[in-house]
């Protein structure tokens, strides 16, 4: 299942769409963590690529994916956090919250894909 959020949506609309998608298809996911990744990726697309973005939310098997396309082919680069208000926290947060990240450049820019794997409870050993 893949859902695409309209390209003209803002980060708040993206968070709302993400919450609805997770409630229906991935109730196991950490909604706050996924919404924070969506917020960071969409805000960074506007800030650093200067472009509109496209958001896709997907699930296959035991994985949840969030993909954000923007018009810049440049991969995100972590910056030292600036505690005086200059940013530098977003990419570090995305890296910490997602199970896996992929950055794929393409002719129209790049796609950043964040993936979460559903964790399974450990098997209980027989006594």
What tens digit of pLDDT does each residue of 90-106 get?
899 999 999 999 999 99
pLDDT exceeds 60 at position 44:
yes
Distance CA 103, CA 74 (A): 9
Distance CA 105, CA 81 (A): 25
Predicted pLDDT at 7: 66
Distance CA 77, CA 74 (A): 9
Distance CA 32, CA 55 (A): 17
Cβ(37)–Cβ(92) below 8 Å: no
């Amino acid at each position: 299942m893949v859902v695409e959020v309209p390209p003209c949506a803002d980060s708040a609309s993206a968070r709302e769409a993400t919450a609805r998608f997770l409630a229906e298809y991935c109730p196991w996911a950490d909604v706050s963590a996924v919404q924070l990744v969506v917020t960071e990726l969409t805000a960074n697309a506007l800030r650093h690529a200067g472009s509109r973005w496209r958001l896709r939310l997907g699930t296959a098997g035991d994985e949840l994916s969030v993909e954000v396309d923007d018009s810049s082919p440049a991969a995100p680069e972590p910056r030292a956090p600036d505690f005086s208000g200059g940013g530098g926290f977003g990419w570090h947060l995305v890296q910490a919250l997602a199970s896996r990240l992929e950055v794929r450049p393409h002719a129209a820019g790049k796609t950043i894909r964040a993936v979460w794997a559903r964790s399974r409870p450990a098997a209980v050993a027989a006594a």
